[in-house]
Structure 1
């Protein structure tokens, strides 16, 4: 995914600064874990699913940059770290669904594993279907088996990483700069996959905080 998805552009408000002083890492970490836990607990405790749907709708239309900015600094294999990576996946697909679909399809064809089946997208998947897949995974985070949702997200990242790697190879001789961008994207997605899979295991053990 493009470099800017390390940290989505924040909207011009000062709400984050009002929550916690950026110069206080310990307090920042505490608030990151507290907000992640509270958000997840609130959504998962609502059996109707209305809270989860409102969260998805709000995030897709407005983003959650201010809260997610807190999570960006959390350890990768923590609850806020996992939510941050899921948020980045949603940002990426909604920012460039066409490229995401192209890389996913290439990865699905090339990757000799069950990851595409685990992720659960149609074969082949068009951009709208991949947007729906990511939303379905997020619904699983808020309503279903959280560890399964994380594993699906990890599988999705592995398929995307495979697609980016093979597409980078295609561009290596003719467009080396483009090849380098895709290679970085593949490495980032592969790292996300490892982190999300580890978070899934930690959730099952009751140690994901």
Structure 2
């Protein structure tokens, strides 16, 4: 894969239409080829794409994609997995706070427990489902996971109101962003089922 600097040197790559075409082509090719071959090694490599290629490479491909597109959905899934991988303690805390108030979302997300290892297993299973399972189900699971984390972030923000108002406000904004991401992923699942996710 090209690094972002090499990609920027390709003539015309800064053209928004060409960038969108590259994003859609690469996202569709990855999903289609992974499903066609059903090779566990390939799926494992795709799940660990950010670890091997770097978040900046994946961002160069898909970060600018509209949220309700296949590359936009893949970008959100990889960012979610990377957050779990880099900050498992925070994600686990938010999950524990949120899951008490979102038991239906817990069932949809399918987490086996509230440990950091469980959180990483969940995001790996979601990404595996993208490439070797039902994409719509994987997107719904990720959306449910985001909803649980949003509830946890909101409760965490409430606990900070009296002691650190600025941090509580930032956390409330993060909760709102997680809800928006959940809605986008769930919308992508609906579009995929309708054959309209490009």
Q: TM-score range by the shorter chain?
A: over 0.9
Alignment of 1:1-209 (within 5 A): 14-19=5-10, 21=12, 23-111=14-102, 113-123=103-113, 125-209=114-198
Deviations 1:44-69 (A, max 9, x none): 21223221112223433443432332
Name the SS of the counterpart of 1:114 in structure 2: helix
Q: Would you say the 8 A contact 1:15–1:66 is kept in 2?
A: no
Question: Partner of 1:5 in structure 2?
Answer: none
Q: Would you say the 8 A contact 1:101–1:126 is kept in 2?
A: yes
Deviates more, 1:130-139 or 1:174-183: 174-183
TM-score by length of structure 2 reads 0.92
Deviations 1:164-185 (A, max 9, x none): 0111011011011221221111
Task: Please give the root-mean-square deviation of Cα atoms over the aligned residues, in Å.
Answer: 1.8
**Counterparts of 2:101 and 2:25 in 1: how far apart (Å)?**
40
Say if 1:82 and 1:13 are closer, same or farther in 2 by CA, change over 3 A: closer
**Counterparts of 1:39 and 1:20 in 2: how far apart (Å)?**
24
**Counterparts of 1:63 and 1:117 in 2: how far apart (Å)?**
31
How many equivalent pairs are there? Answer: 197
Say if 1:35 and 1:62 are closer, same or farther in 2 by CA, change over 3 A: closer
Shift >6 Å, 4+ stretches: none
5+ long unaligned stretches in structure 1: 1-10
Deviation at 1:19, TM superposition (A): 4.8
Name the SS of the counterpart of 1:77 in structure 2: coil
